[in-house]
Structure 1
Amino acid sequence: MDKPFIFITRNIPEKFVEPLRVVAEVEMWHSEEDPVPHDVLTEKAKKAHGLLTVLSDRVDEELLKEATNLKVIANLAVGFDNIDIQAATKRQIYVCNTPDVLSDTTADLAMTLLMTTARNILEASAHIKENKWTSWSPYLLAGRDIHHKTLGIVGMGKIGEVLAKRAAGFDMNILYHNRSRNEQAESKLPVTYASMDDVLEKSDFVVCLTPLTKQTENMFNEEAFKKMKKSAMFINVSRGDVVDEAALLKALNEEEIAAAGLDVFVNEPIDGSHPLAMHPKVVALPHIGSATVETRTSMIKLAVQNIEAVLAGHFPSTIINRELVPQG
């Protein structure tokens, strides 16, 4: 009997692939960074029993129509907006993600980005490297305090809870908005549920952690930025499409908000000519929220384990379309 075929859309260390090679024919895209072209992914999916994808791989209905052998898609991310979940479910294809293992790491990055933006860290580092530091002055590169300020978290999931824990250590007043109230978080953390308007109007720092859905697309628009304090800073470590980038640029240019820290963008990757990357009041990062050696290793292992489970006739451990799992 022929072995099942698995296609992995990025080049990952062979030691993590070895368990799959025992039970399947495995092919990996040759690059760690360059995306697999969509037509190549579609062609590989035609014979694949499993796909290990990353968030920039588009797994749409047209691809899934051709993937008649496909049983599992293991997405190397918490988010799954790159996959047509409804189309996969209709074809009895398990879709898996990598939740929980990256919550702490992504919250660390969110806090780091907030602090870097507030304290002008990149500008201060460049000040020395460009030989501009000639004397001390009272307001040289003066940023904004973080301690005792109000943090507004939009999206109180696992990452939001961990970020709130970090912020509590800075004695921040923490508001949050979520599509539904997170009473579990309220029971263990010093957080207060608030309307979206209250979060925008009262927060000194607004951190977006919401997933990308039809409801959250462009939720941070011109109207939202106008509601924020002129001294407020906007931090986004979720998905680029939750922000109207033109509206954000306008808000920065017209000083409706003070600054922004961005780990994600609408069209990725961007380069140095992107208007937001060029803006002096923006700290721009290349989508590195979960990018530590430890966490990316855990994510890869979990994705591989999910594929192994399906090939062995078991349910994967982190299923998104749980309706495929029999109840009872």
Structure 2
Amino acid sequence: MDRAEKRHKLLVTRKLPDDAEAAFAKAFDCQFNPEDKPYTPDALCRAADGCFGLAITSMDKFNADLIGKLPASVKIISTVSVGHEHIDLAAVKAKGLVATNTPGVLTDATADIALLLILGAARGAYWGERMVRENRWPGASMVKPLGHDVSGQRLGIIGMGRIGQAVAKRARAFGMTIHYHNRKELSPAEAEGATFHATLEGMLPHCDFVSINCAMTPETKNLINARTLALLPKGAIVVNSARGGIVEDEALISALTSGHIAAAGLDVFAGEPNIDPRYRDLPNVFLLPHLGSATLRTRTNMGLRALDNLTAFAQGKAPRDQLT
């Protein structure tokens, strides 16, 4: 990278893995956030003054008001995430900015978490571990406690993109039958025998498990609600490794309490980290703190993918992951 490119100033809003930050520092004149404390909107605008770009994360909420106040020097917003619902893309476009994301590099890590949620919810990982840790294991019994089978069951996948397909690949190793609902039907080679359902309502009655892997959009907000949960067979299991807002908490908690939904595995929540506190008291819910992409290699590669987009832009090229 030449000297002219190295003079570009860049604001990195949150702490990234060390190897990613080292690569950023080599490429640009970076202002990092070593304490990993969230910026207020005003503080962010002050820090961004003179910067050509921002490297942000899904924890940073870029609404229209904040985007409108960004310094004129800012030309690109590169989010270190595949999801981009935290950015008002219409406002980005209206201001003449470029936004990018980091698809692909977190597929495997997130699909692994989805399988962990399926297994953890079905086999009682939460209550089983508590029994051992709290010395409440009653000893051998043929009737309690009992979990639910995974092998040979029917899995419905909502959103059959990269991550959904990776979940399906892993689930096939357990002999699960795959159903999916997607905006469009996959090719036979991509589907690998999975059954396509043009509507969510058409798929849910055929599911012992549901894995949520779609993007968070206005159309998918509260997609899993009292009406759609009622379409699932009694005793079905719901897992969510996508975004919390896709699930209506009140409806899921009610279905878990009534027993219509046997268990749930949740890695994401509306309003996280301030989740609905009722989830903590439900023994049939396996909870994780948004660990989908949380491996060192994956988070490093996400940072490097964002850096690739920023570097291309600084060189006058079109970033490969451009959203606007």
TM-score, normalization: structure 2?
Answer: 0.92
More contact order relative to length (CA 8 Å, sep ≥ 6): 2
* SS of equivalent to 2:178: strand
1:139 equivalent to 2:140? Answer no
Where in structure 1 do 4 or more consecutive aligned residues deviate above 4 Å? 184-187
Number of aligned residue pairs: give it: 318
* SS of equivalent to 1:258: strand
Q: Deviations over 1:212-257 (max 9, x none)?
A: 1111111111111111122101101111111111111111122221
**Separation in 1, partners of 2:175, 2:23:** 46
Partner of 1:28: 32
* SS of equivalent to 1:176: strand
Q: Conserved in 1, the CA contact under 8 Å of 2:126 and 2:283? A: no
Partner of 1:319: 322
Instruction: Report deviation, 1:181.
Output: 1.5
| 1:290 aligned to which of 286, 289, 293 | 293
The residue correspondences of 1:187-206 to structure 2 (distance < 5 A) are: 187=191, 189-194=192-197, 195-206=199-210
| 1:62 aligned to which of 42, 62, 65 | 65
| 2:250 aligned to which of 241, 246, 249 | 246
Q: Conserved in 1, the CA contact under 8 Å of 2:111 and 2:163? A: yes
Q: Conserved in 2, the CA contact under 8 Å of 1:7 and 1:50? A: yes
Instruction: Report deviation, 1:298.
Output: 0.7
| 2:302 aligned to which of 287, 299, 304 | 299
The residue correspondences of 1:227-246 to structure 2 (distance < 5 A) are: 227-246=231-250
Q: Conserved in 2, the CA contact under 8 Å of 1:105 and 1:292? A: yes
**Separation in 2, partners of 1:98, 1:78:** 5
Which moved further from structure 2: 164-173 or 41-50?
A: 41-50
**Separation in 2, partners of 1:265, 1:70:** 31
| Structure 2, gaps ≥5 residues long | none
| Structure 1, gaps ≥5 residues long | 322-328
1:102 equivalent to 2:103? Answer no
**1:207 partner letter:** S
Distance 1:231 1:23, change over 3 A: closer
Q: Conserved in 2, the CA contact under 8 Å of 1:46 and 1:66? A: no
1:16 equivalent to 2:12? Answer no
1:210 equivalent to 2:214? Answer yes
**Separation in 2, partners of 1:115, 1:19:** 37
Which moved further from structure 2: 301-310 or 146-155?
A: 301-310
Partner of 2:56: 53
* SS of equivalent to 2:165: helix
The residue correspondences of 1:171-186 to structure 2 (distance < 5 A) are: 171-183=175-187, 186=190
Distance 1:22 1:110, change over 3 A: closer
**Separation in 1, partners of 2:17, 2:167:** 30
| 2:159 aligned to which of 155, 165, 171 | 155
* SS of equivalent to 2:261: coil
Partner of 1:130: 134
1:270 equivalent to 2:281? Answer no
Instruction: Report deviation, 1:98.
Output: 1.0
Q: Deviations over 1:184-221 (max 9, x none)?
A: 5555x121102312321120101111101111111111
Partner of 2:47: 44
**Separation in 1, partners of 2:289, 2:35:** 17
**1:41 partner letter:** L
Which moved further from structure 2: 164-173 or 21-30?
A: 21-30
Distance 1:129 1:17, change over 3 A: closer
Instruction: Report deviation, 1:162.
Output: 0.7
TM-score, normalization: structure 1?
Answer: 0.91
Instruction: Report deviation, 1:23.
Output: 5.2
**Separation in 1, partners of 2:178, 2:93:** 38
* SS of equivalent to 1:234: strand
**2:56 partner letter:** T
Which moved further from structure 2: 193-202 or 259-268?
A: 193-202
**Separation in 2, partners of 1:205, 1:102:** 23
* SS of equivalent to 1:151: strand
